[in-house]
Amino acid sequence: MQPNSALDDALALMRDLRMRCDWDAAQTHDSLRPYLLEEAYEVEEAIRTGDDVLLREELGDLLLQVLFHSVLAAERNAFDADDVARTLVTKMRGRHPHLYGEGVKEPWERMKATRRRSIGDGLPVHLPVLHRAHRLQERAAGVHFDWPDIAGPLDKVAEELAEVTELVAEHPPQIAASGAAVNDAAHDRLADELGDLLFSCVNLCRKAGVHAALALDRANAKFSRRFEAVEALARARGLQVGQVPLEVLDRLWDEVKTSERPADNTLR
C-alpha cells in the first residue's frame, strides 16, 4: 500500500476535528462563510506582499475551508471531496475542448453564454463592485458586444467625463453642514453619471489588459505611501497636517513626488 498523500492526511484531520473538537463540530456551511472570505483575502494579501512562506500558509488555510465544506456536505450525503475534485476536472476539461477532446479552441465566456439565462447569471451578489463590472464586461465581450480596440473605451471615458463636467456646471453639488451631500434629484443624476464614468474606466482598463481593481489597489498604495511621506516631512518641519493651508501641503506633496523615480510620478 502506498502512503497517504498530504491531501489525504488533511482530509482525515478535518474529519477527526469534526468528531473531537467542540468548535469544529458546531460549524455549518453558513457559520463558515465569514472565515472563507477572510481566508481568501489573506491569500490575496500574501500574494500582494510577495511572501512565499506566508502564501503557502494562507493557501493551506483556504484549503482547510474547502475541505471543511466538503466534509460537511459528505455528512449530509450531498457530495464529498472526491466529488468536488471530479467536478473540477470535468469543468476544466470542458473549458479546454481543444486540449482534452475533439473540439476547437473557443473563448470560455462564449461557451458559457449558451448556458446562461442572463448576463448576471451566476455572479455572486456580494462580488466587489469593480470586479463585478469587469466580469459583466467580459461576459458581454464573450458574445461580441465589445469595441475592437482601446480607441472606443478611450472615447467613451472622454464622453462620460464631459457629461459629468456639464452636469456639475449646471447643478453644483450641494454639501450639507454635516459634510454629506444633499440627496436630491440632481445628486441622484450626478451619481448615475459618475457611475457611468467609473464603468467606462473599468472597460478602458479591461481593454488595456489591466484589471481595474488591481490598478486601483496600486493607486491606493501609492497615495498612502506618498501621503505618509508628506506627514513625516511636515512633522520634521514642525508643521501639523490639518492646520496648514492646502498650498503648503501641495508643496510638500511635490517634494515627495520629486524624490521618487520619475516614472512613478503619475498620481496627481
pLDDT score recorded for residue 192: 95
Total-model pTM: 0.70
**pLDDT confidence of 190, banded at 50, 70, 90?**
very high
Q: Measured between alpha carbons, how far is 35 from 63 in angstroms, rounded to an integer? A: 12
Is residue 193 within 8 A of residue 160, CB to CB? The reply is yes
**Mean pLDDT estimate for the chain:** 89
Mean pLDDT of 161-182: 82
Residue 193 has pLDDT above 90, yes or no: yes
Specify the 3-state DSSP secondary structure of 32: coil
pLDDT score recorded for residue 61: 96
Looking at residue 262, the DSSP 8-state letter turns out to be G
How many Cα neighbours within 13 Å face the side chain of 136?
15
pLDDT score recorded for residue 83: 96
Residue 267 has pLDDT above 60, yes or no: no
Nearest to 97 by CA among 84, 85, 111, 83: 111
Give tens-digit pLDDT for 72-101: 999 999 999 999 999 999 989 888 888 888
Helices (H) and strands (E) in the chain, counts: 12, 0
**pLDDT confidence of 261, banded at 50, 70, 90?**
low
Give tens-digit pLDDT for 34-72: 899 899 999 999 999 999 999 999 999 999 999 999 999
**pLDDT confidence of 180, banded at 50, 70, 90?**
low
pLDDT score recorded for residue 176: 60
Q: Dig out the grid coordinates for 206 from the structure.
A: 479591461
Give tens-digit pLDDT for 138-148: 999 988 899 99
* CA 181-187-193 angle, 5° bins: 125
The identity of residue 248, as a single letter, is V
Is residue 8 within 8 A of residue 70, CB to CB? The reply is no
Higher-confidence residue of 105 and 132: namely 132
Give tens-digit pLDDT for 216-249: 999 999 999 999 999 999 999 999 999 999 999 9
Which residues 6+ apart lie within 8 Å of 175 measured at CB? 181, 182
**pLDDT confidence of 118, banded at 50, 70, 90?**
confident
pLDDT score recorded for residue 184: 81
What percentage of the chain reaches a pLDDT higher than 90?
70
CA dihedral 51, 54, 56, 57 (to 10 degrees): 180
Mean pLDDT of 149-177: 91
Adjacent-strand bridge partners of 181: 175
pLDDT score recorded for residue 25: 95
DSSP class per residue in 92-130: HHHH-HHHHSS-----HHHHHHTT-SSTTTT--TTS-HH
